[in-house]
Chains A and B, each alone.
Chain A
């Protein structure tokens, strides 16, 4: 963002007419894109920005540009939180041009500087748009992470046996999380058997199979054996035609079958009392 410094006359004009311009800017900003902010909130945001803009314009002070960018980023973030659209936030900045133009229209000597000023305000408006987008992306990323955490529970089925029900696609990010949670659960429960239930995994292709294999490998390094269950009839065909082989990893249709298998391995039997 290039701020053309040494706009001394423009800067002076802005300083001299501060009250009038700020008032008009506030009105225009509210009517065009205030989101859910009140007039006084907008007024106070704008009056914080105004002196920074003037300082950046006059080029007198090197830190002004940086402070201005930071203040705009903050404006963007707080508007994002109140649900204003990025267009509304950018518009709030752009309307300063209108407020100034109304006063500058018949002053020919300021025309050239007004153009430069106008371009600078365009850049600032764009900057709020970019910060807004980045802020929303961060929110989405955080939510995705929470969803990932929530959809990876690990339960203790019995002494020494834990179950890891997987829900949703098994990509590398989820696989990492599954491995971490499963291994921690193995340690915490002193378990030596893990049942991985893939009923909730929509497709099993070679990539998903690799991820499952990795998970089993990791469990084995901690001395635990794994059983995969929840292989639905629909995906059984896909697995076989892709040539995926689970080798020496036991696979069962249902969680019940897998539990029986695990109990068997542990030398236990379930029978009538």
Chain B
């Protein structure tokens, strides 16, 4: 099973999802993130889903959970780069992903997290 890499730059954790997400992969990502957040003094997480073509209700809920987990470690999460087709589909499914903030791209996401890394 592939693991989604987590990169730490300054006080921000960067996660870029490039693969077709399997359930186990997402669960592993949550675990890995929790560990990294606990171990570091990261104050923010940026999850880049520019390359993600499909977000179903399970993955959507998992992303919201990541937001909640990060909050436990006093970090904010921003989801960036959602594709229009994905946004339209999630809206149709009724998933608002409230609990994670969103931004158009990484640059704007960083601004939301307070400017710099």
Do the two chains touch directly in the complex (Cβ atoms below 8 Å apart)? yes
Contact A222 B104 (CB under 8 A): yes
Interface of A (DSSP majority class) = helix
How long is the Cα–Cα vector from A175 to B110 in the complex, in angstroms?
31
Closest partner residue, chain A, to B103 (CB atom): A223
Does A22 sit at the interface, judged by CB under 8 A?
no
Contact A223 B102 (CB under 8 A): yes
**Total number of A residues with any Cβ neighbor in B under 8 Å:** 19
Flag whether B88 is at the interface (Cβ < 8 A).
yes
A191 to B105 CA separation, bound complex (whole angstroms): 11
B80 at the interface (CB under 8 A from A): yes
Question: Across the interface, do A186 and B88 meet the contact criterion of CB distance under 8 Å?
Answer: no
Report the 8 A-B pairs with minimum CB-CB distance, sorted nearest first. Answer: A183-B84, A223-B103, A221-B87, A223-B102, A218-B91, A218-B87, A217-B91, A223-B104
Instruction: Please report the total number of B residues contacting A with Cβ < 8 Å.
Output: 19
Residues in A with CB closer than 8 Å to B71 are none
Chain A nearest CB from B80 CB (Å) reads: 7
Q: A222 contacts which chain B residues (CB < 8 A)?
A: 82, 84, 87, 102, 104
Q: Is A184 an interface residue (CB 8 A)?
A: yes
Would you call B101 and A184 a contact (CB within 8 A)? no
> What distance in Å separates the Cβ of B81 from its nearest Cβ neighbour in chain A?
9
The verdict on B3 contacting chain A, using a C-beta distance below 8 Å, is no
Q: Which residues of B contact A20 (CB under 8 A)?
A: none
Number of CB contacts from chain A to chain B under 8 A: 55
Within 8 A of A (CB), among B89-117: 90-92, 96-97, 101-105, 108-109, 112
Q: Which residue numbers of A lie inside 8 Å of B, CB to CB?
A: 176, 179-180, 183-184, 186-187, 190-192, 214, 217-224
Given A183-B88, A192-B108, A214-B91, 15 other A-B contacts at CB below 8 A?
A176-B88, A179-B88, A190-B108, A192-B103, A217-B91, A218-B88, A221-B86, A221-B87, A221-B90, A221-B91, A221-B96, A221-B97, A221-B102, A222-B87, A222-B102
16 contacts between A and B (CB under 8 A): A176-B88, A179-B88, A180-B88, A183-B87, A183-B88, A192-B104, A192-B108, A214-B91, A217-B96, A218-B84, A218-B91, A220-B96, A221-B97, A222-B82, A223-B102, A223-B103
* Known A184-B84, A217-B96, A221-B97; contact A179-B102, beta-carbon cutoff 8 A: no
Contact check: which of B91, B96, B101 meets A223 at CB < 8 Å? B101
Are B104 and A187 neighbours in the complex by a CB distance under 8 Å? yes
Give per-residue flags for B24-49: 1 if the beta carbon is below 8 A from chain A beta carbons, else 0. Answer: 00000000000000000000000000
